[in-house]
Amino acid sequence: MMHMNRRSALQLLSGAASFSIAARAGRLWAQPRKLKPDAASVLIVVDVQNCFIAGGTLAVPRGEDVVPVINRVAPAFQNVVLTQDWHPAGHASFASSYPGRKPFETIKLAYGEQVLWPDHCVQGTSDAALDKDLNIPQAELIVRKGFRRQIDSYSAFQEADRKTPTGLGGYLRERRMRRVFVTGLATDFCVAWTALDARRAGFDTYVIEDACRGIDLNGSLAAAWKKMAERGVRRIQSTDIELG
């Protein structure tokens, strides 16, 4: 049997300990596994409409850039829901409904503070149509929101009075969905409100950042991300999703 002096034994133990620590560190910093959408996952595509992309009545900067990203991730999902802003003419959120008021000013309505917008997404117009390049044939539901004249609606789950549901929450629960992935326009308004309401309803909620674009009205984009993080909404990229 080979005998070992004290120094050799300590060197051997030290080397083994270093190897163990390195191995644990390697596991800790290993590339995280990608998220694989399953039968209980749903992709929500928020308001990818002509009014919110280049040339529209309320164009989000680079809004059209979300379309190829959404088209790339959508085939990974068995379940897809689309939303449409669907306002009647003279809607309460339109600056034109208030003499002397201008777009992007705010007023107080019965349900609280309301940003006034240019007339947009008026029912039945080409401005309200979904972007023609959006290619998601498996989408199974379109939720139209904001069609009540006196109430605006950012969230796909609940209108701005915070009392009137769209029915989407019940639909997803009935279908036994557990995970919600949100994309679309605009990050700091309809996307954020949708994600926050999904989280409030108990769904594991992810916002795919590169599949969204924001307006950033007076710091609204940073504020939206901060609020979503505080409420447990997870911020991911399209590359975090397993597409194969």
Mean local confidence (pLDDT), 69-76: 98
Query: Is the Cβ–Cβ distance between 167 and 174 less than 8 Å?
Result: no
Domain at 31-88+127-240: CATH architecture:
3-Layer(aba) Sandwich (3.40)
What is the per-residue pLDDT across 129-145, written as a single tens digit (0 to 9) for each? Answer: 999 999 999 999 999 99
Per annotation, catalytic residue among 85, 127, 145, 197? 145
The yes-or-no answer on residue 226 being catalytic is: no
Per annotation, catalytic residue among 51, 121, 190, 212? 190
Query: Is the Cβ–Cβ distance between 162 and 84 less than 8 Å?
Result: no
CB atoms closer than 10 angstroms to residue 186:
26
Per annotation, catalytic residue among 47, 85, 119, 197? 47
DSSP string, 196-232: HHHHHTT-EEEEEEEEEE---SSSHHHHHHHHHHHTT
What pTM did the predictor assign? 0.86
Residue 10 pLDDT more than 80?
Answer: no
The yes-or-no answer on residue 188 being catalytic is: no
Give just the sign of the alpha carbon dihedral 118, 126, 123, 159.
negative
CB atoms closer than 10 angstroms to residue 152:
23
The yes-or-no answer on residue 47 being catalytic is: yes
Nearest CA to 43 out of 20, 66, 64, 61 is that of: 66
Query: Is the Cβ–Cβ distance between 230 and 61 less than 8 Å?
Result: no
What is the per-residue pLDDT across 173-213, written as a single tens digit (0 to 9) for each? Answer: 999 999 999 999 999 999 999 999 999 999 999 999 999 99
**Residue boundaries of the structural domains of the chain:** 1-30, 31-88+127-240
Query: Is the Cβ–Cβ distance between 48 and 212 less than 8 Å?
Result: no
**Which residues make beta-bridge pairs with 35?**
241
What is the per-residue pLDDT across 44-70, written as a single tens digit (0 to 9) for each? Answer: 999 999 999 999 999 999 999 999 999
pLDDT band at 217 (very low <50, low <70, confident <90, very high): confident
For residues 128, 129, 134, 136, the Cα torsion angle rounded to the nearest 10 degrees is: 110
Query: Is the Cβ–Cβ distance between 213 and 62 less than 8 Å?
Result: yes
